[in-house]
Structure 1
């Protein structure tokens, strides 16, 4: 496992030709240490650790960067964290087994996947109250909302499908068959395609959202967990492989596998698209990948059991 002095790491990010890192933070759920860690990606330093409890797993930073919403399956709750003050602002009891979480583009609605109830809970962000429940497939995990806010996609692991929900009505419009045991789901910036990491079939399903169907599958490493998109490529965490699989979004051809920390799970691209940040559960690290050069350029120590399942990066300027 790599060990890097933090000061040297910060310098190395500037040396590789990307320029110095932009002002951005990673909000990392550390499930086994029951907390949320905030990492300044410009300096690769931890700047806060916030107790959460209940084995935090899912994370969604609001589009305006003001709040981080954290699911705690054991506590059956969602914790709202003020991103600027690093303080817990509220705890919302949702019941069941909250796991995946997503915030609507306008920031007004929070969606929470209830693993046990085959449902997505709907929270009004202003009042911080549950307002509805939407029926989806068995064991919903990853959630994503289209850029226009009109559709919610739920990766329903034990149904081998993705539910498509009209957010205005809460109606489940379609159930799209994908690979085996889909977990993370990611939608592209245009809202045209979605990508699911299929844990059971070691591939990624490519979905045409308008047509409501799977159009391709891309082979990746062992036990893929989640997908990030940047610079015309898909980056997929392979839990059992200790790698990130990279494929071309146009041709859907595999490009490379990058060795990262042990048991990678959560993955996000930075706002400028130049780096990919990977939470590695077993090695308790964040691996930092140069998205153009396709190589690891740094590593940051985290708490115990980082998952960061969701949108865990926050732009600060």
Structure 2
């Protein structure tokens, strides 16, 4: 091939890439939706570019957040108001307010984004709401002061961290019935599932450790000490590593998922709380006292790749996929 022909081929290849429809190009990375509790704000962040791309005013003291799979709608709990806010991320604005329980805190969407599962901190219950209308569809009594909630891979069961009962409640969602109670360390708060759905990782705030539970039997196979007041937990995409935020020490602990042993620790900022696997080899950590979001590569000891300033009191966060379909 001549040099001129080679240059012509490169031009044609670049043109094909640029003119290709969006579906033919590489998928854009998701955004992050971060709730700032003190400021009463929801911030949309591009974790790859390391910048804020949007901000939405919320009612006071927002806490938990869940986002639909199309990235268009977020649901935010407000424990002090007994309320869940529905937020249109395309508007962007709060479009509905649902009254629920006493102190709604943790929140998750079902596998079809049709209903919400919300923990009621002072009501000791898991409540199911219609996501479109806010109508209560069911509730079940769980342990005392339920905090985090996650669903299994097929959406059949919810796992609830019962902070003051020191257990995880397993709820059959088809019947809205508690079918098992699994012991943990002291004051379980945050939960994360392994990618294969066979292990549940539970951060225990007061015993400063991590319960590693087998699914479906709930047997605790390890409980390593991870640091002072672990408030968040996430798992790498390949399931090989677990990361835990330790609020009081300002550190991120890295664990080997296979053995449950702590691999290393690194200081990342003041009062780290929520942590999330963003995908693309990145984790995001909300730094409460620094009013910032730390983007951490999935490499132990690598530190923050970028630090993004946020409104005061960032605490919990969720992946917000780039919006798809007609706008």
TM-score by length of 2: 0.86
* 2:251 and 2:272 in contact (8 A); partners too: yes
Which stretch shifts more, 59-68 or 133-142?
A: 59-68
Residue in structure 1 matched with residue 313 of structure 2 by the alignment: 305
Q: 2:270 aligns to what SS in structure 1?
A: coil
Query: Quick one: distance in 1 between partners of 2:269 and 2:91?
Result: 30
Task: Compute the RMSD of aligned alpha carbons.
Answer: 1.7
* 1:37 and 1:49 in contact (8 A); partners too: yes
Runs of 4+ in 1 over 3 A off after TM superposition: none
Structure 2 matches for 1:250-289, cutoff 5 A?
250-272=258-280, 274-289=281-296
Query: Quick one: distance in 2 between partners of 1:225 and 1:50?
Result: 25
Query: Quick one: distance in 2 between partners of 1:21 and 1:33?
Result: 32
Query: Quick one: distance in 1 between partners of 2:39 and 2:126?
Result: 26
Q: Which of 88, 107, 113 does residue 82 from structure 1 map onto? A: 88
CA shift, 1:22, in A, is 4.7
Q: 1:120 aligns to what SS in structure 2?
A: strand
Residue in structure 2 matched with residue 120 of structure 1 by the alignment: 126
CA shift, 1:104, in A, is 1.4
CA shift, 1:88, in A, is 1.4
Q: Does 2:66 match 1:60? A: yes
* 1:198 and 1:223 in contact (8 A); partners too: yes
> Cα deviation per residue 1:264-311 (whole Å; 9 max; x = unaligned)?
001101133x01000010111101111135412110001111111xx5
| CA pair 235-135 structure 1, distance change in 2 beyond 3 A | same
Q: Which of 105, 109, 132 does residue 103 from structure 1 map onto? A: 109
* 1:37 and 1:48 in contact (8 A); partners too: yes
Which stretch shifts more, 277-286 or 189-198?
A: 189-198
Aligned residues: 295
Query: Quick one: distance in 2 between partners of 1:95 and 1:210?
Result: 29
* 2:38 and 2:61 in contact (8 A); partners too: yes
TM-score by length of 1: 0.89
CA shift, 1:31, in A, is 0.6
Q: 1:56 aligns to what SS in structure 2?
A: coil
CA shift, 1:177, in A, is 0.6
Query: Quick one: distance in 2 between partners of 1:214 and 1:109?
Result: 30
Which stretch shifts more, 151-160 or 59-68?
A: 59-68
Q: Does 2:223 match 1:217? A: yes
Residue in structure 2 matched with residue 154 of structure 1 by the alignment: 160
* 1:286 and 1:300 in contact (8 A); partners too: yes
| CA pair 22-234 structure 1, distance change in 2 beyond 3 A | farther
Query: Quick one: distance in 2 between partners of 1:223 and 1:182?
Result: 10
Structure 2 matches for 1:30-49, cutoff 5 A?
30-49=36-55
Query: Quick one: distance in 1 between partners of 2:29 and 2:69?
Result: 15
Which has more radius of gyration?
2
- Structure 1 stretches lacking a partner, 5+ long: 1-19
